[in-house]
Chains A and B, each alone.
Chain A
């Protein structure tokens, strides 16, 4: 029982990062109907910014906000340079554009800084643990869970209590009608990308803290986790994105820990199998959204 509880908390820590990534994916999907496969590039670029910052002897206290800023700026640049050019195109075109962005960013990084893994120091407390009764909890997991909760609350407040949030939700519900009602579509989309970038930045801090390195394809794994979590939760639902992320993280840790060693290598296959099983019965994901495009 103690072991299960331990695994559960470890999984929630892992899943919280996935949840932050899924939130960013859900925000963009809500406004543009776009599954943004370039979302991971925000972490890739932020990672290289972190490498440069650590090279200048900056501490994690300064690098963390830098990662968020770089992620937001990168997200806005990607929107401006790529997605704004295909805004009226089909979902398929936009999807391919997002793949193209990933390929271009990777190629540019390989040519400019090389294909080798760039490492940097994790925070000194990254592996510290706190004993709570029979449980030994990582400080890192507790911090990630707390920050995710605060970020989710702040995002909800932003969307529910501000004019920008109202515009974003209106555009998500019916983009054309929102424009006719005076909503500035460019501003809304830029805002969505900035918000998505900020969420990716927060996720990126923890992803990079844990990894302690980056390379030109560093964004693939977080992108896949974020998209999967958003799908599990139900595309268009912020609550679903969080739930999907947590479910994915817990499932990964539990399966890796509880499966017999001889079949534990099938963890990812089992996770994908469970997801496929979920979609047979709930193709809309865990949370049903009245309008899939709603944020």
Chain B
């Protein structure tokens, strides 16, 4: 009897574990939970530059001036009422690889802003709250603290509860997501990046432009967030461009590395000159590439999404030639490079991620821009101002929310891995 009970219990847990994937762990809240950054100095010139934003009232933060400050020699501390930025972040192994470094970098940049005099004399305070198993609670605590706007985690299962908590009254910026359902300007929810349609159609257009007329995709099913939507969008754009999809094959995202069954099926279909597209992670794409090459197909063009940048495709073995769509193409000496270098110089260690980091800082800057534009700290009015932002010049490119549903129409970099680094192909 006890064995039967145990079996029943086992299945319950197994189903829960299977349903939850890898999101059943989280970093210690007490360790990474709260980080505040409010030191700084007083100056009224925070918005004098001609970069960092473009809107009705000028940029709230002069990005290049802020990047140039020396934290050892700050202006007098800003004395205005603090601007409070709440970060509800997912530190679990699902997206912790970007949310953890993002939540380290944003307070650092707030320190730089404050060192340069704050935003119109007001210091910027950042509080990081780990969402744990209750994103709504994390959001509530940040709102109770007085956050003027929030930066949320990438996936809808955590970000949507935050949106329900804000009830659309407080701007919510999703830094590292391409999930279309989180783009909802009417409810004050904004993507900072391009969305899945943007990156997948850019990849399809690039393939067509290179004369590729046949393609196959890996998918977890039509309409499945990210892993299915990206292939859906690629197929639509590729076929619209005159291409032919020869196969749609299933796989398990973030898990499968043995693609014997798929290779067997493809071997009767491939001519060897096709494009492959999926939302698979780096190690999955290189595994498939190796298995197809071993089967004699070495002329395939492998294409993927921002997931490849997130999981470090550049350092994978056998990754040369893989094409992907990162959010930011970083070049030595550019703003993003200076931003990351500034963090490293101050903290003595590099962040765990590079390509996504500008998106997190842009999230904060967009909220600050909304405050600057409305000349207020009322969250609903800030939201109104955010919805009207046009031509904001941030770390991740130009961002416009005016006339959109919360997804900025951004350029999508197309890059190719060559010798352990990305080479820009088009933008």
Contact = CB atoms under 8 A, between A and B. Distances in A.
Interface string B27-62: 110011000000000000000000000000000000
Contacts of A283: 4, 7
Interface stretch (B91-99, B183-191, B329-337, B363-371): B91-99
B3 A117 contact: no
Contact of B92 (A95, A110, A267): A110
Interface string B68-106: 000000000000000000000001111111001000000
A281 interface: no
A9 to B, nearest CB: 9
A117 B28 contact: no
Contacts of A106: 24-25, 93
A99 B13 contact: yes
B107 interface: no
Contact of B312 (A6, A116, A231): A116
Contacts of A127: 290-291, 293-294
Interface residues of B, number: 62
B220 A116 contact: no
A220 B9 CA distance: 17
Given A107-B28, A117-B282, A265 B250 contact: yes
B403 interface: no
A55 to B, nearest CB: 12
> Chain A interface secondary structure, helix, strand, loop or mixed?
helix
A217 B22 contact: yes
Interface in A123-146: 126-129, 136, 138, 141
A283 B249 CA distance: 33
A261 B97 contact: no
Contacts, number: 164
Nearest to A95: B9
Nearest to A256: B261
B416 interface: no
B264 A3 contact: yes
B13 A37 contact: yes
23 contacts: A10-B264, A14-B258, A35-B10, A92-B9, A95-B9, A95-B13, A99-B13, A107-B27, A110-B93, A115-B27, A115-B96, A117-B312, A119-B283, A119-B316, A119-B317, A129-B295, A212-B257, A217-B25, A220-B21, A224-B17, A235-B3, A261-B248, A264-B250
Contacts of A210: 257-258, 287
A213 B285 CA distance: 13
A216 interface: yes
B247 interface: yes
Contact of A227 (B10, B26, B248): B10
A71 interface: no
A65 interface: no
